[in-house]
Amino acid sequence: MTEERTGQERRATIWEVAKAAGVSHQTVSRYLRDDPRMRPETVARVAGAIQELDYRPNLAARSMRTRRSGRVAVLLPAVATYGPPQILGGVIEVAHEHGYTIEALTVEGTAAERFDRVLELADSGQVEGVLALAPLPPASEHRVPARAAIVASADYDESFRGVGELADGSPVAELVEHLADLGHRRFLHVTGALDFASARGRRDVFVATVERLGLGPALVHEGDWSAASGRAAVHALPAEDRPTAVVAASDTVAGGVVQGARERGWSIPGDLSVTGWDNQQLGAYLEPTLTTVQVDHHRLGRAAMARMVATLRGEPTPDPPSDPLNTIIWRGSTGPVCDGRGGEASAR
């Protein structure tokens, strides 16, 4: 039985872990290196001993001895958004599964300045890899040092705006089609800031879907991701022959739409159905609850760190996840068209 330690005593050693697990210290070292040749029962014994003793490897000593620190730096956008914290959660999950620790950093400045920081970290000897949540500048292709692995996410552009799957607006087609099935024939889309590929993607899919279904005209109000732009879009609507459904570019914009509708005396969804995007936590607790699009940023983080692990181990790049990134969550803010709806007077 291992003697009980207090918080002031020294940390457990690898030899103590080996003794508690009934194995050699070399076997414990193999466990810490994720040796795939170890037998499952041996892995279980070593893992149990590590947990019992609260063993933590001496990373500095291990780095000097093996040139491995077990640490990966992750560069996050300096401007807080909804995605990066969730992406980081996925990164950390995969890192811990493979025995790595994460150091998250935010870096301001231009793409070139951020890449200079990437090079500094990669050449420091303190981390085994650097995972950047933005593409590297084109000129950096031949400047990557051999001392640490560098992986750049393809999910954000140089200004940390969503691209690729994050800019896929295809769920908007499903939103419009379902609302059309509920009887809606006049639609409005309130965009995000159109310098974002994601905002342009959602707008383009909205216009194409409305036109394809013969529900035109495809009404579009240019917004800026703010609740104020959603509210302004509703106040700009005519009292007669107004849209009966609004597809907002984000949950924040949708919140402004709901507020504007109530100021005009319109009920949600009785007089106006509203959808958002992002599945912000508050949307599930509004009255009515907000129909939205769930974006699995956690999955993006797991996929990015899986690429990093494969790079560190010299393994083939894993296939991308097959499950959808975006999922519609239908809630109380959408419903069928009610008789007599369409004029401001009748909505009061």
Contact present, 290 and 254 (Cβ < 8 Å)? yes
Domain limits at 234? Answer: 165-291+330-347
Label residue 114 by pLDDT band (50, 70, 90).
Answer: confident
As a whole-number percent, the residues of the chain with pLDDT over 90 amount to 42
Q: Assess whether 209 and 334 both reside in one domain.
A: yes
Residue 5: is its pLDDT beyond 70?
Answer: no
Q: Assess whether 176 and 45 both reside in one domain.
A: no
Residue 188 host element (H or E): strand 187-190
Half-sphere exposure of 170 (CA within 13 A, CB side): 8
Q: Assess whether 171 and 273 both reside in one domain.
A: yes
86-105: pLDDT as tens digits: 888 999 999 988 889 988 88
Extract the tokens encoding 166: 């994050």
Residue 189: is its pLDDT beyond 90?
Answer: yes
CATH code assigned at 40: 1.10.260.40
In this predicted structure, what is the pLDDT of residue 139? Answer: 56
pTM: 0.72
CA 318 to chain centre: 19
123-139: pLDDT as tens digits: 777 888 888 877 666 65
C-alpha distance from residue 182 to each of 179, 185, 273 (Å): 5, 9, 10
In this predicted structure, what is the pLDDT of residue 144? Answer: 57
In this predicted structure, what is the pLDDT of residue 79? Answer: 60
Q: Assess whether 120 and 227 both reside in one domain.
A: no
Residue 326: is its pLDDT beyond 50?
Answer: yes
In this predicted structure, what is the pLDDT of residue 57? Answer: 64
Extract the tokens encoding 39: 């037998």
Label residue 36 by pLDDT band (50, 70, 90).
Answer: confident
CATH code assigned at 199: 3.40.50.2300
d(CA 101, CA 89): 12
Among 171, 332, 173, 179, which residue's Cα sits nearest to residue 243?
Answer: 179
Residue 180: is its pLDDT beyond 50?
Answer: yes
Extract the tokens encoding 7: 């918080």
What's the mean pLDDT in 139-148? 59
Q: Assess whether 31 and 108 both reside in one domain.
A: no
In this predicted structure, what is the pLDDT of residue 317? Answer: 84
In this predicted structure, what is the pLDDT of residue 221? Answer: 97
Residue 343: is its pLDDT beyond 50?
Answer: no
